[in-house]
Amino acid sequence: MQLLTDTLATPLPPIPGSTPVYTPVAVTVDGSLLAIWATSRDTTSAGAFRQDTLWESRLEAGQWSRPRPIWAHGELTWHPRKFTVTAVDSTVVVAFPASDSTKSPRAGVAIMTRSRRGWQRRWIGTSEFLTGAAVLLPLSSSEFLVAVTGSLDFESLHAMNSIYVIRVSTGGIVHPPRISLLRDVKGSHAVEPSVFRSSGGVHVVWRQPGDQSFSPDSIVEATSTNEGATWTLTSAASLETNTLGLSVLPLHDGDAIAAALDLQRWRIITLRRISNRWTLGAQTFPDAKTIPMMTKTGNRLSIMFAHTRSSPGPTGPYDAPVLVRTSRALHCEPPPATRARERLRAPPRGKSTLK
């Protein structure tokens, strides 16, 4: 497993045994890189769903520090779109679904902050069932809003399939968490939440699969104008298909763009948020094989996903992954998107780059 930049490929440090590494994430802290990833003691394919340890390592002078476990208290969920890693000033903040058999209720959200004093952990139990996702938005250096999907059984709030938010403090004076139920989805469920803020308030967006088989998914938004004290459902729009990997990227003050993989036509669909409403975009990208990744650099927005293309191999043609990146300017009428294709450095079938 590697961390990559335009000029550097540095392997992550090995850990004892043959434990596979899940979803390594890098964050910049005080001018250096900190890598965080998960492992499981179950080395079979089922281990991806039974992660139990979170690790960290820091890149200093071109060398990774010895891996150190920072969470080993029970099962955790460490997959894309399921957790948050961010930096607030010089503090790293991590939020992820987890379960701890020593707590009651045993499942909920772990919020960890890393400063010069080391890691501090805040545990919030919300249910007996492992939650689906936990995405975090800093409100200040010690106040955070976490949007969570899954079961909720907290004081007077009870919902088997729901999306809810937790306002939590991690500073010197720790107040009890404040939990607000955004929606009891009942026969369906909420997935792939995102949270961002604008001058109009704080916004939580999620994908809601259709109630019936093959009925289209929806994108739903709730907004708070008082820092999470109360919430109102403000927008809902049909995606007109079944999707996976909804990703939301805020633009300038309230505008946003979203993208997801259309599982019926295998293309990337786009959505726009304008004037507090979500609508399907006219632009789509065909022949997609993976969920989209979106980034914004300056005035340019990029969407990346993968194709597969036939490539010659030692025993004949095989399907090779090709990364597609499409980008456009943000502050003008969108011209035709420019695309670049880069063949991923995957070895031919039967070959390995590991030694």
The residues, any chain, with a CB within 8 Å of residue 181's CB and separated by 6 or more, are 152, 157, 159, 162, 164
144-148-152-155 Cα dihedral, nearest 10 degrees: 10
Please list the residues that pair with 271 across neighbouring strands.
258, 280
From the centroid of its chain, how far is CA 323?
20
Q: How far apart are CA 99 and CA 52, in angstroms?
A: 9
The pTM of this model reads: 0.85
56 alpha carbon, distance to own chain's centre? 18
What integer pLDDT is reported at residue 3 of this predicted model? 46
Distance separating alpha carbons of residues 169 and 122, to the nearest angstrom: 9
Query: Is the backbone peptide bond immediately before 105 cis, with ω within 30 degrees of 0?
Result: yes
* pLDDT in 10s for each residue of the chain, 355 residues: 444 444 556 777 777 666 788 999 999 888 889 999 999 988 888 888 889 999 999 988 888 899 999 999 889 999 988 999 999 888 999 999 999 888 888 999 999 999 887 899 999 999 999 899 999 999 988 899 999 999 999 989 999 999 999 999 887 666 889 999 999 998 788 999 999 999 999 999 999 998 777 799 999 999 999 988 899 999 999 999 999 999 999 998 889 999 999 999 999 999 999 988 999 999 899 999 999 999 988 888 999 999 888 888 888 888 888 899 999 887 654 444 555 665 554 444 444 333 3
Token look-up 């993968």 returns 306
The structure tokens listed for 309 are: 């293309």
Helices (H), the chain: none
What's the confidence (pLDDT) of residue 350? Answer: 42
Residue 103 and residue 47 in contact, taking contact as beta carbons nearer than 8 Å: no
What pLDDT shows up at residue 259?
97
SS3 state at 81: coil
Contact indicator for 71, 110 with CB cutoff of 8 Å: yes
Query: What is the gyration radius of the CA atoms in the chain, in angstroms?
Result: 21
